[in-house]
């Protein structure tokens, strides 16, 4: 790749981030991507490059947007933090206090914290064949969710809910928000709109078109760029079996590269189908970290706390940790400062957004070549290391 393949700017002291970004194209199979970093509310890294559509040889441009998969969960967690700040939600109250029907089948004592930290065993929706069309009727979805029976005694285990958690959190927000808004509308009205950033759940009519990327799944020769592929998960998923495969089929969404399809983009999946730019995602985290989003200081302190110890995950089959709806940095998936207080969420394929309380930096990376790792794509982690080495200078 040539020097002209990458564009944008970095602040003084962040040149190594630009170097790492270029090397991803030259050595590590990057096709198109963007990375952004804010120091407080000030942008210090804003880079993009490569091709947003390699089939048509269209360049990745400043306003290119892309699906960010589970990075959406972090934005949903910020919605919860706003509701907690207003006294409309409490992490340690029972979900059933806001959503009485949720109490069915032994869930009466389940707290908001247990639900959003993947401790309730609701990763697979049993007794239903939910379709994408069903997701257009949120009242119907709420009935299906409330009728679910936990796979284990809530609070005794941790197991990642890749798709279903967004549905549960969406209904919780609808019940707690005085206006009864879903997360899609809440984000548009209180986060993306006021901040003036590109981030939506699904694609609004004015977005998309030529701005959205073509997603490319890593396969064939692309696998030579992969590191730490979780074969204990990848093989069962390819064979259409195992806990993770079953949890991803809630409902059946197709292959990852299909997330740009109209059918997927037209519904609301608050754990899965966020669309935006790296700049927009980093800006959202920056606003949450600095208080520009009206998250109370006491809530920001909870988000920034050390959090629980890492735990074995029954679905991911690795050690990780969740805290108030976010992934926390930990030794098996380190991001941000060495104190592991950074919080955010990664997305399928390699995207990542997070805030780092120690440095006041917020970071986001969005690619269109979808990698295969679960605990940090190496393209992204090279940029993270470059950022936090640069921030110490």
Give pLDDT tens digits for 307-325.
Answer: 999 999 999 888 999 999 9
Of the pLDDT bands very low, low, confident and very high (cuts 50, 70, 90), residue 235 is low
To the nearest whole number, what is the mean pLDDT of the chain?
Answer: 90
Of the pLDDT bands very low, low, confident and very high (cuts 50, 70, 90), residue 49 is very high
Query: CB burial class (10 A; 0-12, 13-18, 19+) of residue 39?
Result: middle
224 vs 156: CA distance, rounded Å:
39
The string of pLDDT tens digits covering residues 218-228 is 655 555 555 56
Distances (CA, A) of 186 to 35, 76, 241, 331: 26, 9, 35, 34
The pLDDT, as a whole number, for residue 240 is: 57
CATH number of this structure's domain 64-75+188-212+227-353, picked from the four choices 3.40.710.10, 3.40.630.10, 3.40.50.1220, 3.80.10.10: 3.40.710.10
212 φ, ψ (degrees, to nearest 5) = -85, 150
- How many Cα neighbours within 13 Å face the side chain of 271? 24
State pTM to two decimals: 0.93
Per-residue pLDDT averaged across 213-220, rounded? 79
Q: How far is CA 331 from the centre of its chain?
A: 19
C-alpha gyration radius of the chain = 19
Residues linked to residue 378 through DSSP beta bridges, in sequence order: none
The string of pLDDT tens digits covering residues 354-388 is 999 999 999 999 999 998 777 788 999 999 999 99
- What residue spans of the chain are helical by DSSP H? 15-27, 71-85, 112-116, 138-146, 164-176, 183-187, 193-195, 231-238, 243-248, 262-265, 278-290, 297-304, 378-390
**Contact assessment for residue 211 and residue 127, using Cβ atoms and an 8 Å cutoff:** no
Within 10 angstroms of residue 312's Cβ, the number of other Cβ atoms is 12
Length of the chain as a residue count: 393
The pLDDT, as a whole number, for residue 1 is: 35
């Amino acid at each position: 790749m040539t020097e002209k393949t990458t564009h944008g700017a970095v602040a003084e002291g962040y040149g190594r981030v630009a170097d790492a970004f270029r090397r991803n194209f030259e050595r590590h199979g990057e096709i198109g991507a963007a990375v952004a970093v804010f120091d407080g509310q000030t942008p210090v890294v804003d880079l993009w490059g490569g091709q947003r559509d390699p089939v048509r040889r269209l360049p990745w441009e400043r306003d290119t947007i892309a699906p960010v998969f589970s990075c959406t969960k972090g934005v949903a967690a910020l919605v919860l933090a706003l509701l907690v700040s207003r006294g409309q939600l409490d992490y340690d109250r029972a979900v059933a206090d806001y959503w009485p029907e949720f109490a069915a089948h032994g869930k009466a004592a389940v707290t908001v914290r247990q639900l959003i930290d993947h401790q309730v065993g609701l990763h697979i929706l049993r007794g239903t064949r939910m379709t994408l069309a069903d997701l257009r009727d949120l009242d119907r979805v709420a009935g299906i969710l409330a009728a679910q029976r936990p796979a284990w005694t809530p609070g005794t285990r941790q197991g990642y809910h890749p798709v279903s958690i967004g549905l549960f959190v969406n209904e919780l927000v609808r019940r707690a928000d005085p206006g009864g808004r879903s997360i899609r509308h809440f984000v548009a009205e209180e986060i993306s709109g006021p901040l003036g950033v590109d981030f939506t759940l699904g694609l609004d009519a004015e977005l998309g078109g030529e701005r959205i990327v073509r997603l490319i799944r890593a396969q064939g020769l692309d696998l030579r760029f992969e590191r730490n592929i979780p074969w204990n998960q990848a093989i069962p998923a390819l064979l259409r079996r195992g806990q993770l495969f079953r949890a991803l089929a809630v409902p059946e969404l197709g292959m990852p590269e299909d997330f740009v399809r109209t059918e997927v983009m037209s519904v609301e999946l608050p754990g899965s189908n966020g669309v935006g730019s790296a700049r927009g995602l980093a800006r959202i985290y920056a606003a949450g970290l600095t208080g520009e989003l009206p998250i109370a200081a006491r809530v920001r302190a909870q988000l920034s706390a050390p959090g629980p110890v890492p735990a074995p995950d029954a679905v991911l089959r690795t050690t990780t940790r969740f805290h108030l709806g976010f992934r926390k940095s930990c030794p098996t998936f380190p991001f941000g400062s060495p104190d592991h207080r950074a919080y955010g969420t990664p997305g399928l394929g390699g995207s990542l957004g997070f805030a780092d309380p120690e440095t006041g930096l917020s970071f986001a990376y969005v690619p269109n070549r979808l990698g295969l790792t679960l605990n940090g794509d190496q393209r992204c982690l090279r940029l993270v290391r470059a950022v936090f080495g640069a921030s110490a200078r």
